[in-house]
Amino acid sequence: MPDSTHSRIALRINGADRTITVDNRQTLLDTLREQLGLTGSKKGCDHGQCGACTVLLDGRRVNGCLQLAVAADGAEIVTIEGVADLAPGADLHPLQQAFIDHDGLQCGYCTPGQICSAIGALAEADRGWPSLVTPDTAGGVASSDTLDADEVRERMSGNLCRCGAYGGIVDAVLEVAGADGGRG
């Protein structure tokens, strides 16, 4: 029951509407994992430094460990459990399949955050958002299909992989972006 320390919030999570009561200090990550049983998003550092908790909030990537659940009231959340639904008619999202095809994972702990972050990064590129390595910010980035490996590494730099599967991760993102140079 809501009181001065709790709030009732409404979220659309992986296509399903949910209304829940949360502690006002509770993170989105803890809400997803502990209250809703969506354990795909991982708690790594709990400080926003590793990206293991990355989810999509209204189509933008966010670190779930830094996002308060009450601040997400009314938002649409997509976790790793729901990314396949972003590609109707497919068993897996193209990025999920590309991670498998390019060995973009080893232990798999960071993989949910990597995949959600890659989906967000490709959408940012398609919107023309510049990055540190974008040569001409006045012209923007034409689209995700113009990305190169340096650009993908920069855009994915907030997600760490302790196993060192970065080569496969970059190749997977490039394949889905359509910029794999024929390697895929």
Please identify, among 40, 56, 79, the residue that sits at the C-terminal boundary of a domain. 79
For residue 1, is it within any domain? no
Q: Summarize pLDDT for 43-93 with one digit per residue, the tens.
A: 999 999 999 999 999 999 999 999 999 999 999 999 999 999 999 898 999
pLDDT confidence of 175, banded at 50, 70, 90?
very high
Rounded (10°) angle between helices 94-101 and 166-177: 140
**How many domains, the chain?**
2
Give the pLDDT score at 168: 96
For residue 49, is it within any domain? yes
Give the pLDDT score at 47: 95
Q: Which residues contact 71 (CB under 8 A, 6 or more apart)?
A: none
Give the pLDDT score at 108: 93
How far is residue 168 CA from its own chain's centroid?
17
Same domain membership, residue 97 and residue 24: no
Q: Summarize pLDDT for 88-143 with one digit per residue, the tens.
A: 898 999 999 999 999 999 999 999 999 999 999 999 999 888 888 876 655 554 56
For residue 182, is it within any domain? no
- pLDDT, greater one: 180 or 148: 148
Same domain membership, residue 123 and residue 72: no
For residue 99, is it within any domain? yes
Distance CA(126)–CA(141), nearest Å, equals 7
pTM of the model: 0.91
Same domain membership, residue 160 and residue 133: yes
Distance CA(94)–CA(165), nearest Å, equals 18
For residue 91, is it within any domain? yes
What single DSSP character describes residue 58? T
Reference 115, options 81, 64, 164, 69; nearest CA is 81
What single DSSP character describes residue 59? T
Same domain membership, residue 59 and residue 91: no
Same domain membership, residue 133 and residue 60: no
Please identify, among 31, 47, 79, the residue that sits at the C-terminal boundary of a domain. 79
Same domain membership, residue 162 and residue 131: yes
For residue 184, is it within any domain? no
Give the pLDDT score at 184: 41
Same domain membership, residue 130 and residue 65: no
Q: Six-digit token pair at 76?
A: 């649409």
Please identify, among 79, 111, 129, the residue that sits at the C-terminal boundary of a domain. 79
Same domain membership, residue 161 and residue 108: yes
Local structure of 166: helix, strand or coil: helix
Same domain membership, residue 95 and residue 73: no
- For 130, the domain range is 87-177
Same domain membership, residue 94 and residue 52: no
Same domain membership, residue 94 and residue 173: yes
Same domain membership, residue 110 and residue 43: no
